[in-house]
Amino acid sequence: MVKKSRHSARKRRHMRLRNKVFGTAERPRLSVYRSLNHMYAQIIDDTEGKTLVAASSLEPELNDKLSSTKDKNAAKQVGLLLAQRAKEKGITKVVYDRGGNIYHGRIAALADGAREGGLEF
């Protein structure tokens, strides 16, 4: 019996999810990646294969607001920053791609921050 890693299981879930979630120009995909220390989010137009907007907990703008880059508060701030940048580009509606992660904790906090910032999904 072969032991499967958490990472490979998340990759399988993400591929299963990506078969259903597709970003268009009218409604791009909000993709989230969670590492142990940071949160990354980007809004992608899959028809052209281009990233329209991106934000992460590594941003210099968030350095003074965050005490830690790996908690729910940091994820929420990343969501707010991403929503602000998306509004500047005229993006209001997105499709949420949780990246194979469970919709809980930092993944949900980022989504809540993006919703507070004005994105609809």
- Structural domains of the chain in order of their starting residue, each with its CATH number: 6-116 (3.30.420.100)
Pick from 29, 19, 51: nearest CA to 97: 29
User: Which SS3 state, helix, strand or coil, does residue 15 take?
Assistant: helix
pLDDT of residue 99 exceeding 70: yes
Q: 18: pLDDT confidence band, cut at 50, 70 and 90?
A: confident
pLDDT at 76: 96
Q: How far is 1 from 6, CA to CA, in rounded Å?
A: 16
pLDDT band with cut points at 50, 70 and 90 for residue 2? low
| Average pLDDT taken over every residue of the chain | 93
Element (H, E) at 10: helix 6-18
pLDDT category, 17, cuts 50, 70, 90?
confident
Strand order in the sheet with 29-34: 50-56, 39-45, 29-34, 95-97
User: SS3 for 89?
Assistant: coil
Closest CA to 26 of 47, 51, 5: 47
Q: Can you say how many angstroms the Cα of residue 78 is from the centroid of all Cα atoms in its chain?
A: 9
Q: Give the residue-averaged pLDDT of 107-119.
A: 97
Query: What is d(CA 85, CA 79) in angstroms, rounded to the nearest whole number?
Result: 10
